[in-house]
């Protein structure tokens, strides 16, 4: 039996979507539709005032400029678009944290760093600007080791004296990483080095290694679907995000707990969910950008494994649903094994907010809005014991998409061709 004080979350509502005019030479023009279930977190943030978003955006755009990032260095999205994405993701993934807190500042800066690095890497993959020689391999490993050393708090490394001509934004990324570490040490004090080494550095290295894998030898149709999924989950950097959020919310998970197979599976479900939702709702962009984005599971299924577009969508939505149902059972299992553990239950809340919060990013963020499709988020009031007291919140969450309504929380989702985003 589960501990008496544990209040399990449940599935409530759906993410419904329609994407018309998805185009590719393989299948012509198609319209795809679908839905998958939502989990209802205990802690969530409904809406952030636009003035708060704009104020934060101006702050971090100035910061990016100070570190040497320039718009011409990014082909897909402008710096402001990337920063808006990191801000809104941070706010919805950490709903219980004040937007102006030091902890939120750390997360926004780190997610900005991660997206700057990620966009450059993906641009290289999409344009096939990869080099398979040993020099490229050793250089990439050296670059990644510099990043890891900085985040470990190593003050001995002089990255400004290292030259990697093929690595775009290397020096600005190093400078921003160094700045992030200073904030992290201010928050965590002398515990910083020990805390990051236990989990964050491991997950960051895993993400960087997944980038190295694809850069040197692309994970394409030569591989089976299971191998692609394994790589794609690592590439999504979800475990990195979970680790920094837990770190900033003072959640400390023991080695015994972290190594338990049920815990490992719980984390893998969270990682997979973010990857699947990204690839499902990214269908229009992923088939439109440069012919097709090579790192999307949906693209892989259709172009490499000859699945139908709608069939692949349905299969991925089914997996999202099944995983969420398992997640609830796994959390109950962990409470049976470890009892009433505050850190564990706080992590449950982080994971639930993490999984559901991403949906609001997709419907609000400029990086994802477009005229190419619609996403609608729903909740079922009948399932809520507290429906009466929270009716207003639920009603807001259920509003039909109306892109002409200036105050509507839900808007058109933006997944667009190269050049249209900014």
Please name every residue paired with 11 in a beta bridge, in sequence order, or none if there are none. Answer: 39
pLDDT, tens digit only, all 422 positions of the chain: 444 466 788 999 999 999 988 888 888 999 999 999 999 999 998 877 888 999 999 999 999 999 999 998 887 789 999 999 999 999 999 999 999 999 999 999 999 999 999 887 877 676 655 555 555 778 888 899 999 999 999 877 777 767 776 678 889 999 999 999 999 999 999 999 999 998 999 999 999 999 989 888 889 999 999 999 999 999 999 999 999 999 999 999 999 999 999 999 999 999 999 999 999 998 887 887 656 667 899 999 999 999 999 999 999 999 999 999 999 999 999 999 999 899 999 999 999 999 999 998 888 766 665 444 688 899 987 666 554 444 344 333 433 333 333 333 332 232 222 222 33
CA distance 248 to 347: 12
Cβ pair 103, 246 in contact under 8 A: no
Q: Provide DSSP, 312-349.
A: HHHHHHHHHHHHHHHHHHHHHHHHHHH-S-HHHHHHHH
CA distance 396 to 379: 10
- What's the helix, strand, coil split of the chain in %, to 5? 60, 10, 30
Q: Beta-carbon neighbour count of residue 322 at 10 Å?
A: 12
Distances (CA, A) of 241 to 177, 274, 371: 15, 11, 30
Q: Provide DSSP, 344-388.
A: HHHHHHHHHHHHHHHHHHHHH-TTT--TT-EEEE---GGG-TTTT
Residue 367, pLDDT score: 64
Residue 252, pLDDT score: 95
Q: Provide DSSP, 157-172.
A: --GGG---TTSTTHHH
| pTM of the full structure | 0.86
CA distance 341 to 344: 5
Nearest to 203 by CA among 257, 157, 264: 264
State the DSSP code for 183.
H
Backbone phi and psi for residue 204, each to the nearest 5 degrees, phi listed first: -65, -40
CA distance 214 to 211: 5
Q: Beta-carbon neighbour count of residue 165 at 10 Å?
A: 7
Residue 253, pLDDT score: 94
CA distance 195 to 201: 9
State the DSSP code for 200.
I
Record the tokens describing residue 319, joined without a space.
Answer: 């997996």
CA distance 265 to 155: 36
Residue 390, pLDDT score: 45
Q: Beta-carbon neighbour count of residue 8 at 10 Å?
A: 12
Q: Is 400 exposed, middle or buried (0-12, 13-18, 19+ CB in 10 A)?
A: exposed
- Within 13 Å and on the Cβ side, how many CA atoms surround 313? 20
* Torsion of Cα atoms, 94 then 97 then 103 then 109, to 10°: 50
Q: Tell me how many helices (H) and strands (E) the chain has.
A: 16, 3
Residue 420, pLDDT score: 29
Residue 411, pLDDT score: 29
Distances (CA, A) of 164 to 135, 137, 177, 312: 11, 12, 17, 40
CA distance 395 to 218: 45
* Torsion of Cα atoms, 253 then 359 then 307 then 220, to 10°: -50
CA distance 265 to 235: 18
Nearest to 71 by CA among 62, 84, 63, 80: 80
Q: Name the helix (H) or strand (E) containing 24.
A: strand 10-24
CA distance 317 to 245: 26
* Torsion of Cα atoms, 262 then 264 then 265 then 266, to 10°: 90
- Within 13 Å and on the Cβ side, how many CA atoms surround 117? 25
**Residue found by looking up tokens 């207003």 in the block:** 392
**What is the β-pairing status of strands 10-24 and 374-377?**
antiparallel
Nearest to 45 by CA among 85, 87, 109, 93: 93
Residue 216, pLDDT score: 84
Ordered structural domains, the chain, with CATH? 36-398 (1.10.600.10)
């Amino acid at each position: 039996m589960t501990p008496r004080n544990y209040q399990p979350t449940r599935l409530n509502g759906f993410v419904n979507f329609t994407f018309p005019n998805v185009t590719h030479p393989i299948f012509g023009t198609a319209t795809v539709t679908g839905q998958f279930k939502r989990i209802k977190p205990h802690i969530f943030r409904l809406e952030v005032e636009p003035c708060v978003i704009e104020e934060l955006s101006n702050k971090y755009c100035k910061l990016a400029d100070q570190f040497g990032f320039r718009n011409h260095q990014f082909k897909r999205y402008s710096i402001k678009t990337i920063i808006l994405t990191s801000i809104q993701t941070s706010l919805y993934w950490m709903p219980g944290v004040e937007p102006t807190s030091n902890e939120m500042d750390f997360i926004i800066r780190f997610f900005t760093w991660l997206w700057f690095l990620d966009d450059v890497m993906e641009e290289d993959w999409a344009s096939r600007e990869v080099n398979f020689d040993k020099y490229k391999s050793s250089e990439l490993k050296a670059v990644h080791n510099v990043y890891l050393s900085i985040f470990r708090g190593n003050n001995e490394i002089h990255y400004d004296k290292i030259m990697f001509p093929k690595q775009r934004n290397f020096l600005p990324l190093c400078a921003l990483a160094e700045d992030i570490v200073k904030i992290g040490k201010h928050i965590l004090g002398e515990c910083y080095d020990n805390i990051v080494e236990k989990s964050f550095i491991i997950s960051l290295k895993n993400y960087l290694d997944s980038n190295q894998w694809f850069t040197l030898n692309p994970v394409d149709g030569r591989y089976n679907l299971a191998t692609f999924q394994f790589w794609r989950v690592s590439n999504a950097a979800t475990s990195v995000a979970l680790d920094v959020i837990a770190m900033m919310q003072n959640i400390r998970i023991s080695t015994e707990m972290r190594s338990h197979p049920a815990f490992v599976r719980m984390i893998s479900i969270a990682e997979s969910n973010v990857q699947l939702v990204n690839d499902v709702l990214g269908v229009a962009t992923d088939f439109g950008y440069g012919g097709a984005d090579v790192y999307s599971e949906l693209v892989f299924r259709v172009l490499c494994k000859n699945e139908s577009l709608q069939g692949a969508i349905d299969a991925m939505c089914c997996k999202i649903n099944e995983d969420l149902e398992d997640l609830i059972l796994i959390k109950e299992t962990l409470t049976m094994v470890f009892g009433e553990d505050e850190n564990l239950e706080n992590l449950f809340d982080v994971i639930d907010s993490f999984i559901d919060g991403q949906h609001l990013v997709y419907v609000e963020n400029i990086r994802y809005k477009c005229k190419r499709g619609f996403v609608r988020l729903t909740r079922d009031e009948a399932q809520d014991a507290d429906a009466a007291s929270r009716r207003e919140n639920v009603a807001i969450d259920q509003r039909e998409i109306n892109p002409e309504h200036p105050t509507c929380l839900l808007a058109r989702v933006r997944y667009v061709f190269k050049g249209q985003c900014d």
